[in-house]
Amino acid sequence: MKRQKRDKLTRAHAKGYQAGIAGRSKENCPFQSSDARSQWLGGWREAVEDRNLGMTIR
């Protein structure tokens, strides 16, 4: 069975979340298009919020 390719905006959000969990700066966003950039930043913000609440495992 073929695996479906994930939506690019979903991937951008997931990558932003991973960057936020890792503690990277939001200035490191690799996306140039406004839609993908806003999704990446949304994921980054969620991760920073989760990290501040202590939801990550170290």
Residue 13 within a domain: yes
C-alpha dihedral (21, 13, 25, 45), degrees to nearest 10:
-70
Domain containing residue 13: 7-22+32-58
Give the list of residues 6+ apart from residue 36 with CB closer than 8 angstroms, or none: 8, 9, 12
Residue 2 within a domain: no
| pLDDT tens track for 34-48 | 999 999 999 999 999
Q: Please give the angle made by the CA atoms of 26, 28 and 32, to the nearest 5 degrees.
A: 100
pTM for the model stands at: 0.82
With a cut of 90, say whether residue 14 has pLDDT above it.
Answer: yes
Catalogue the E-assigned strands of the chain: none
